[in-house]
Structure 1
Amino acid sequence: MSSSAIDSAKKEGSLCPPTVQGQEKIFPAHIESIAESIAKLTLLEVADLNELLIKRLNIKAPSHGMAFMPAAAPQAGPATDAVETEEVEQVATKTAFTVKLMKFDAAKKVPLIKEIKALLPDMNLVQAKKFVEAAPGVLKKDMSKDEAEAMKKTLESCGATVEIE
């Protein structure tokens, strides 16, 4: 298909033909405009868009019970079963923790916002304020137990109620 035919197909809103590997893919105009609009969103707006799409499209989060599925191995007998069970229990110990802000003391809101901004350098003051006001919410994921405990202690000293998962 020639480039003029593709351009006319884009204008008409019809589907574009598949592209050959190595060629740049041409997207329909409405897809281009959606991508352009999304690219202009702030991080908080992207989070809101994500939440809205999850609700609208009825997307369910995958269950974490399926996250660790050991590969099938040939069975050698009862002695190896006990060893394998012990190994699986050792692997299943939690190494990554999530810190959640559940609620906060309104009288200590300002120091809490400042502390959250200090703990999360990617977050500006306005984002930290909106995060605190929107509690409960996940503050940080995939932390070691020591880091999570230290963050919890710091935030609780600022009047926050924090959970570690």
Structure 2
Amino acid sequence: MSEIQKNAPLISQLLATWIKGENSESYTLANYANAAAILFQNMTAVNWAGFYLYHAETNTLALGPFLGKPATALIAPDKGVVGNAFTAQKTIVVPDVHAFSGHIVCDVDSNAEIVIPITTANGQKIGVLDIDSTQLNRFSKQEQADLEHFVQTLIQYIEVS
């Protein structure tokens, strides 16, 4: 059982408590950054955790706050795991990134990936949460559900234009 599976409610609660304690409810960028840090510190075998944010005017997903090695700055919808999850508007879990056709390699140590779309209740596409792991088959169905819950907690603290 992974750390987030044991502590999923606590991790989502930690995010909300941190944001409220910092009085940063209206500071979207800071909230993304702290969300990435909370995940990175509380998950095992994770080598990258962060966000790609959608820019409608250029129709691209741009690198947002993250922890890990430098990453691809711009990803087109339908490209890689990030673009495919964004376009499909559903979580994609890749047990082995080397078997995913079109995978965008940023860190050669990555072996598994999960990408969760960030979408408002009214359907506005914001971007994605992207997490990479050095471990094959890293992300379980329960962890997927826990991370989706984490994103729903985060959405409450994102200002949408």
TM-score normalised by the shorter chain: which range applies? under 0.3
Q: Structure 1 or 2: larger strand share?
A: 2
TM-score with structure 1 setting the length: 0.23
Structure showing greater relative contact order (alpha-carbon pairs closer than 8 Å, 6 or more residues apart): 2
Q: Structure 1 or 2: larger helix share?
A: 1
TM-score with structure 2 setting the length: 0.24
